[in-house]
Amino acid sequence: MKLFSGRRAFVLQRLSALVLLAYFAAGALRLAFGPPVTYLQWQAWSAQPLAAAALLVLAAALLGHAWVGIRDVVLDYVHPPGLRLAVLGVAAAGLTFLASWTVLVLVSHVNSA
């Protein structure tokens, strides 16, 4: 089945890994060497459209990477087709919920600023 094609998952996993690596490196440097962030700074920074877009890219990479990880574990260890479909369905629904919720949170935040 095309949905379970290994190459697409492989590419998505590697690309999202590189995106996450860049964000985590930047975040770790900021955490280690920058002053603590206040609410007002965080609020103002994340309300800029470009910053909110960058946070959305981070969320998309994290959720896409999580999807490939869950998918790989399920395909390796859950063999009955019905159960496999159910577990993947629950995972996909959960990740889709988190993605939509993040879009709503960030869009309303940018609009409220």
Partner 1 sequence: MRAVPFAFYALERSLRSEAAFGATIELMRSPAGRAVLVLLAWASAHHLFAGIRHLLMDVGVGASLGAARASAYATLGTAAAVAAATVLLA
Among 78, 84, 103, 109, binds partner 1 (CB under 8 A): 109
Q: Which residue stretches of 1-113 are H helix?
A: 6-33, 39-46, 49-77, 81-112
73 closest CA partner among 59, 91, 58, 97 = 91
* Least gap, CB of 82 to partner 1 (angstroms): 23
Nearer to partner 1, 73 or 85 (CB): 73
Residue 74 CA to residue 83 CA, distance in Å, equals: 10
**What backbone torsions phi and psi does residue 37 show, to the nearest 5 degrees?**
-85, 135
Nearer to partner 1, 28 or 83 (CB): 28
Q: Under the criterion CB under 8 A, does residue 19 sit at the interface with partner 1?
A: no
The contact set with partner 1 (CB under 8 A) reads 14, 17-18, 21, 24, 39-40, 42-43, 46, 55, 59, 62-63, 66, 69-70, 94, 98, 101-102, 105, 109
